[in-house]
Structure 1
Amino acid sequence: MNRRLKNYLSVGIFAFFGGGLRAYLNLIWSQTGTLTANIIGCFLLAFFTYFFVEYREGRDWLVTGLSTGFVGSFTTFSSFNLDTLKQLESGMNSQATIYFFSSIFIGFLFAYLGMLVGKRTGRKLAEKA
């Protein structure tokens, strides 16, 4: 199968699952679902990126599918901004400010943790290979 086609199919298939999981989180937790998805997504994207850099055994289609497909459809910058705007519009300025800055700070923290875990896990697997 053509490499480019394999990447496109991988993105589509993984996006189906990432988007479905995010929709489920939003259904059960509303704004907390968006925050949860974005924080988990920060960790996962950093983990996948650094894991495959260290391990070097990843297939292009798998890396693209997991990062662009799954994580890209699982996280949502637009919903994050819309949630913040809705809070501001409802007069919940303090809550909107806390939501906005905690999302950024916690997201960065989880991306950093994902980087550390991804590097460590990738190195361990590379040493065993």
Structure 2
Amino acid sequence: MKLKNVVSVAAFGFAGGCFRYLLSMAFDTRGVLIANLLGCFLLAFLTYYVIERDLLAGWLNAGLGTGLIGAFTTFSSFTTTTIKLGQHSLLGAGVSLLLSMVGGLVMAGLGMLLARRLGRTVEQHA
């Protein structure tokens, strides 16, 4: 493993964790849902537009995907939020779980579709 990959993942991971924290502070339990849905979209877009087209250096892709988006969308925050909601309302926890799973798939699909469509547009104008 190259040092620049490690440094990139660590630096971007710090930023991703800070962004998730800010969303959680602004929107409470909904902030984690927002972060996860946005992260699903961004990771799909990054993968299908930036990485597939080889637009950035590998260390930067690792930092953005694994570091920034990985820390932004942590599974531990999702789990903790679901348990917290479940202590107050099983229905609320179930709705949050369903929104996260289905919404995450939808957002990842939208990210992929936008990336592919944008890629075709760029190729047509080149």
TM-score (norm. length: structure 1): 0.87
State how 1:67-86 maps to structure 2 within 5 Å. 67-86=65-84
Q: How does 1:24-39 map to 2 (within 5 A)?
A: 24-39=22-37
Residues 54 and 126, structure 1, Cα contact 8 Å, conserved in 2:
no
Note closer, same or farther for the CA distance 1:10–1:124 as it changes in structure 2 (3 Å cut): farther
Secondary structure of the corresponding residue to residue 97 of structure 1: helix
User: Structure 1 residues 71, 15: CA separation in 2 closer, same or farther (over 3 Å shift)?
Assistant: same
One-letter identity of the residue aligned with 1:97: G
- TM-score of the two chains, using structure 2 as the length reference: 0.89
- The one-letter amino acid of 1:30's match is D
The Cα shift of 1:94 comes to: 1.1
What is the identity, as a one-letter code, of the residue corresponding to 2:104? Answer: G
Say how many residue pairs are matched. 126
The answer on whether the counterparts of 1:34 and 1:75 sit within 8 Å (CA) in structure 2 is yes
Q: CA deviation at 1:21?
A: 0.6
Q: Deviation of residue 122 (structure 1)?
A: 3.4
Q: Which residue of 2 aligns with 1:88?
A: 86
Q: Which residue of 2 aligns with 1:4?
A: 2
Per the TM alignment, residue 126 of structure 1 is displaced from its structure 2 partner at its CA by 5.1
Residue number in structure 2 paired with 1:62: 60
Q: Secondary structure at the match of 1:55?
A: coil
Relative distance call for 1:120 and 1:56 in structure 2 (3 A) is farther
Unaligned runs of 5+ in 1: none
Moved over 3 A (4+): 122-129
The Cα shift of 1:48 comes to 0.3
Instruction: Choose the corresponding residue for 2:94, options 94, 97, 119.
Output: 97
- Residue 123 of structure 1 deviates from its aligned partner by 4.1
CA offsets per residue over residues 63-97 of structure 1, 9 Å max, x none?
1111001000101211111111122222x111111
1: CA distance, partners of 2:71 / 2:105 = 19
Partners of 1:9 and 1:128 lie apart in 2 by 36
Local SS of the residue matching 2:116: helix
Query: Identity percentage over the alignment?
Result: 42
